Amino acid sequence: MTDTALPTFIAESRELLAEMEVALLECEQGNAGPEAVNAIFRAAHTIKGSSGLFGLDGIVAFTHVVESVLDRVRAAALPMDRALAAILLECRDHIERLVGVVADGKADDGDLIAAGERLLQKLNMHTGGSSASAANTDVVATAAYAAAPGERWHISVMFHTEVLRNGMDPLSFIRYLSTLGEITHLQLNTERLPSPEDFDAEACYLGFEIELASQEGRQRIEGAFEFVREDCTLQIRSKAQAAYEATAGREAETRDARSARDIKSADNRSLRVDGDKLDKLIDLIGELVTAGAATTITARKAGLSELNESTLRLARLVEEVRDQALKLRMVQIGPTFSRFQRVVRDVAREIGKEIRLEIGGAETELDKTLIESITDPLTHLVRNAIDHGIETADVRRARGKGAEGVVRLEAYHDSGSVVIEVADDGGGLKRERILAKAIERGLITDGSSLTDSQVFALIFEPGFSTAEQVTNLSGRGVGMDVVKRNVNALRGTVELDSKEGEGTTVRIRLPLTLAIIDGFLVGVGGSSFVIPLELVEECVELGDEHRSTDGEQRYINLRGAVLPFIRLREMFAIRSTAARRESIVVIRCAGQRFGIVVDELLGELQTVIKPLSRLFSRIRGIGGSTILGTGQLALILDVPSLLDLCLSSSQAPVAPRIALAD
Amino acid sequence: MAKRILIVDDSASVRQVSNMALTRAGYEVIEATDGQDALGKLAGKINLIISDVNMPRMDGISFLKAVKAHPNYKFTPVIMLTTEAGEDKKNEGRAAGAKAWIVKPFQPQTMLDAVAKLCLA
């Protein structure tokens, strides 16, 4: 029965563990308030509670100890210091592993149990507490079958006047008794009934004398009255035994009442929806947008003003639906950023640097798929910043900086795209060293004419690494080019700013969503292409003087600046003669400008990206396809790779084979 | 007619498992995610309420007080879910009139047993 609910438990636990980690890291840094401790406690508490439901005794037992420690912290009986936070972090990781084992459907493994024991010992040593035993918490004690089969019991119960007002129905207990055995005799005790004028309709004046034939033990029978112990006088006698006095109301706990309000995560009103359903919805809305565009075009052709008006209204609604649907996929980047607290802490500790992670723009939203895909590149960049960017404490002091280095993750929206920055206040990039290395690696021959940003761009070249020594974190030269490739695959770009001695900032610019783009439609011969609109800077006519050169000269003078360009007709070997007039679409991408020569400028459109099948995945220059409102197919240009082609030195033979084959 | 039980807990897995166990045992179950949500669902026949203590927005104790003050539901039995670490809450709950408790973590059978004592299916 519980199997079907297990995924809910696992997802819930993972969320709570993530919250727990954030709060623990805050505690470790010493800037946490009571709400952080509460959050940690609540996470442990809820995980324990739900894992018990699933009979996951290992998790219950382990979490129970952790929870007890946390409860002492909450009660201010134990200080939450760095050391405790560090141990609790390890415990958190252990719980995560335990949950992982459940998620994988594996049996408990001995090593893991042993590791858990060691952790608990460590925890106990630190807290000085005696080892709290595993939870044995069921309120209903398992019955001790003391009575002989078929034993007869005499139960005498007198309910107190308040029992009804306390929400207890005397009848329900009698009914429950009948599930434990057979009630052979029942007599109502009415001696406390008052005179009619004193009668309170909401009060209970009744008592019962019950004869029960049951095989259950005394405990089970007494248990039936568990919830009314304080509201009744109960006597249970075994007929075979001597009279047994059982008075209700045994518990008398007098502990200080202390209010502790738990701060809950803000998203507890949210609805969990299967990602596939959402994808399907987005997909359908994509089709809707396309169909809507077709209708609008048809209506315009038909020339009926009423039809035109209604299709426009429809188009506006479709647009709204699309925006709302896309928002469904949007998630805040904060949790992803927070995960790096742990990375920074662990890595900094490992290599003996003092580093703090600052986070900005945690509430910035972007497409969930993007967040998932951006985590790896970000990890690379953060590790790079820690490993190569931030200097050791000694060096920093010598340079007059604070001993503690700062890595900053920041996200913000910027004209239709999302920018994620990874900045450090470390040593910055050294132009000479990059140049020397680039020449050594044969990436360039002479760097004297390159601007700083062109030099810095070299570190994104495959096989480039200037780390003086290879550490186990990074510095194997497989870092930055992978980052760039990953980001480009998401239709994003990477830029890098650096000042020697002051630090480095890597800026990743991503589209808001992967599903739909605002595009600029251009035509070459009979084919249509879509250029992402946010990259288009302007369109200019290609002057006759550049047309005759037929591929020799590949740049124009655009208001005094050199603008290199490529011809789509050549790139994709479109077999048609050049149109009478050609235009250049000026593109700005990754801080550089270049032109794309096309026949026709067809205007803006909003379009749904259909990924290309794997067969075409290695084709450079094309990022996807889309179906136009007219039913025609258009290819979406992959601008960053076109830029590479345009700027690469091997640009001369832009034969289609080379351009298209990677 | 099946007995109707309102289960109030912010943990989706607790709700789901309880719901399944109770439904199997022949009860009709309504779920609420916290006290406030539950107040909105107090309508029609409700034979029993099971409420977590530790919840966002409105915790179980405040919810219990609200139920006790509700003209239609003040006689409805309420089972509180708590943990052994929550003794202080228990005292607070007692003061508010809570009588029945189930200590988390519990097995579904424990819940069914407790429910049966107050309202047999």
pTM over cut 0.95: no
Which helix (H) or strand (E) segment holds residue A408: the answer is strand A405-414
Do A264 and B10 lie within an 8 Å CB cutoff?
Answer: yes
Q: How confident is the model at residue A416 (pLDDT cuts 50, 70, 90)?
A: low
Task: Give the C-alpha separation, B39 to B41, whole Å.
Answer: 5
Say if the Cβ atoms of B33 and A51 lie within 8 Å: no
Residues A236-271 pLDDT 10s: 877 654 333 333 333 333 333 333 333 334 444 567
What is the model's pLDDT at position A263? 35
Instruction: Report which residue type is found at A468.
Output: E
Range of lowest pLDDT (A206-210, A424-428, B82-86): B82-86
Burial class (CB in 10 A: 0-12, 13-18, 19+), A332: middle
Domain A516-660: give its CATH architecture.
Roll (2.30)
Are A1 and B21 in contact (CB < 8 Å)? yes
**What CATH number has the domain spanning A2-127?**
1.20.120.160
CB pairs under 8 A between A and B: 163
* CA distance to A251, A294, A319, A320, per residue, from A308 (Å): 78, 12, 16, 18
Cis peptide before A511 (omega within 30 of 0): no
Chain A contact for B59, CB < 8 A?
yes
B117 contacts A176? CB cut-off 8 A: yes
CATH number at A331-511: 3.30.565.10
Q: B58-112 pLDDT, tens per residue?
A: 888 899 989 988 888 888 889 988 876 566 777 777 777 787 888 888 888 888 8
Q: Which tens digit of pLDDT belongs to each residue from A264-274? A: 344 445 677 77
- The domains of chain B, with CATH numbers, are 4-118 (3.40.50.2300)
User: What residues are paired with A584 via a beta bridge?
Assistant: A540, A597
Contact state of B33 with A46 under an 8 Å Cβ cutoff: no
pLDDT at B6: 94
CA distance B28 to chain A (A): 17
Contact B66, B88 (CB under 8 A): no
Average pLDDT over residues A324-343: 83
| Residues of chain A contacting B79 with CB distance shorter than 8 Å | 227
% chain B with pLDDT above 90: 16
DSSP labels, A594-613? EEEEESEEEEEEEEE-BPPP
User: Could B91 and A46 be called an inter-chain contact, meaning their C-beta atoms sit closer than 8 Å?
Assistant: no
How far apart, in whole angstroms, are the C-alpha atoms of residue B63 and residue B72?
Answer: 15
Residue A419 structure tokens: 């920018």
Share of chain B above pLDDT 70, in %: 97
| B102 neighbourhood in chain A, CB within 8 Å | 139
pLDDT at A522: 93
**Residue A521, pLDDT score:** 92
A628 CA to centre of own chain: 34
Residue of A10, A225, A226, A227 to mutate, testing the B interface (most B Cβ within 10 Å of its Cβ):
A227
Q: Higher confidence at residue A659 or residue A579? A: A579
Q: Write the single-letter amino acid at A266.
A: A
| C-alpha dihedral sign at B87, B88, B94, B96 | negative
Model confidence at A203, pLDDT cuts 50, 70, 90, reads confident
Comparing alpha-carbon positions, the chain A residue that sits nearest to B81 is A49
The CA distance from A226 to A216, in Å, is 15
Shortest Cα distance, chain B CAs vs residue A334, angstroms: 21
CATH topology of domain A151-238: Alpha-Beta Plaits (3.30.70)
Say yes or no to pLDDT of A517 above 90. Answer: no
Taking residues A479-487, report their average pLDDT: 80
- Which distant-in-sequence residues (6+ apart) come within 8 Å of A114 by Cβ? none
Query: What average pLDDT does this structure show over A174-186?
Result: 82
